[in-house]
Amino acid sequence: MRVFNFAAGPATMPLEVLEQAREELTDWSGSGMSVMEVSHRSKAFVAVAAAAETRLRRLLGVSDDYHVLFLQGGATGQFAAIPMNLAGPGDTVSYVNTGAWSKKAIGEARRFAEVEVVADEAASGYSTVPDATSLSPAPGSRYLHYTPNETIGGVEFGYVPDAGDVPLVADFSSTILSRPVDVDRFSLIYAGAQKNLGPAGICLVIVRKDLAGQARDGTPMVWDYAQMAAADSMLNTPPTLAWYLVGLVLEWVERQGGLPAMAARNRAKAEQLYTTIEESPFYSNPVAPAARSWMNVPFLLADSALEPTFLTEAREAGLVNLEGHRSVGGLRASIYNAMPLEGVTALTDFMKEFERRHG
Ligand code: PMP
């Protein structure tokens, strides 16, 4: 029996994708082999890799001015790869701090460049995003980095910062493909796959071609965007199974109607959940309304002592992985693309029923 899985990542996958993968597992494409047993250099796999790139470009509207890379090392690897590729030692780079993942990106960048934190939402307890008009990169910055969606805090930007002539770099790990985005506003977009793109083990990097090719001396070749682009992301053996699954997820997103359809669904899911939280003093969400995430919804019970009971009863009702991140506690529902509206309805029905019994 499938449960509704509200995990933050690795996260729920579209059931159709899992069923297709199961169907093809032992005899893929008439090869008599699994996709994970064929060479990454085989014609058949190269076609899978190319099709995933084409679909991604089509879905997000990524022009020929950008490389699309499928790398390893996760978004965490990119925390280092970004300054290595886009800044020299001692150069200034600007970062926006909106919470846990911004902080990790900042911490890693400090090992490679001079980090200026140009906005820090500490005063609000990381429940807000900076005002659009107040945000600008420090003078001489090689780039401005921000986190459009903070997976732990549940804080999401409703706008794209204006960095002027400074390249804009964004960690889209937990919001990629959740709604349309104007890729041309960005110089670099990156995202670990394990939320909206597929399974863990592969990381998407979309980088302007004119910014690749300036990696600092000593950059490992697997982190060098230009070298990876020249090798079609196959300088080392790529995670072929994950890449194939990302391709199936992208096909699934296209079948749903692409990003406008995903956005409409995601908005409806988020509104339903936030409304349930808002309607009752039994539940609360700490994030400023304008900065509430469509993907990750943290919430608290008025009586936190009831949390273990909530989690146990939810699990019994087939609603799993609702605990908040270990660093912050509380509860959290991650409602990525693959979470159907029925899953959110099952959750909000459960929440109302739980309140009736325990409120
Ligand atoms: N950035 C964000 C916004 C994330 O949510 C995560 C993972 N939860 C990461 C970075 C780190 O990703 P990875 O584990 O793929 O390195």
Rounded CA-CA distance 40/240 in Å is 7
User: Are residues 131 and 224 located together in one domain of the fold?
Assistant: yes
- Assess if residue 7 is contained within a domain: no
Any idea which residue has 């349930």 for tokens? 276
State residue 178's pLDDT score.
98
State residue 269's pLDDT score.
98
Rounded CA-CA distance 336/265 in Å is 10
pLDDT tens for the chain, 359 residues long, are: 899 999 999 999 999 999 999 999 999 999 999 999 999 999 999 999 999 999 999 999 999 999 999 999 999 999 999 999 999 999 999 999 999 999 999 999 999 999 999 999 999 999 999 999 999 999 999 999 999 999 999 999 999 999 999 999 999 999 999 999 999 999 999 999 999 999 999 999 999 999 999 999 999 999 999 999 999 999 999 999 999 999 999 999 999 999 999 999 999 999 999 999 999 999 999 999 999 999 999 999 999 999 999 999 999 999 999 999 988 889 999 999 999 999 999 999 999 999 999 98
Assign residue 349 the CATH number of its domain.
3.90.1150.10
User: Are residues 249 and 107 located together in one domain of the fold?
Assistant: yes
Q: Whose CA is nearest to atom 5 of ligand 1?
A: 151
- Assess if residue 4 is contained within a domain: no
User: Are residues 32 and 104 located together in one domain of the fold?
Assistant: yes
User: Are residues 202 and 295 located together in one domain of the fold?
Assistant: no
State which residues form the domain around 50: 15-255
- Assess if residue 3 is contained within a domain: no
- Assess if residue 232 is contained within a domain: yes
User: Are residues 211 and 104 located together in one domain of the fold?
Assistant: yes
- Assess if residue 250 is contained within a domain: yes
| CB of 75 sitting under 6 A from ligand 1 | yes
State residue 30's pLDDT score.
92
State residue 292's pLDDT score.
98
Longest Cα–Cα distance in the chain: 63
How many domains is the chain built from?
A: 2
- Assess if residue 8 is contained within a domain: no
Alpha-carbon separation of residue 89 from 85, 109, 210, 352 (angstroms): 11, 11, 20, 54
Q: Whose CA is nearest to atom 10 of ligand 1?
A: 75
State residue 68's pLDDT score.
98
- Assess if residue 5 is contained within a domain: no
Q: How many residues does the chain have?
A: 359
Query: Which residue, 224, 239, 255, sits at the end of a domain?
Result: 255
Rounded CA-CA distance 14/131 in Å is 35
State residue 53's pLDDT score.
98
User: Are residues 248 and 281 located together in one domain of the fold?
Assistant: no
CB 330 within 8 A of CB 324: yes
Residue among 151, 172, 190, 194 whose CB has most ligand 1 atoms within 8 A, to mutate: 151
Rounded CA-CA distance 119/96 in Å is 5
State residue 194's pLDDT score.
98
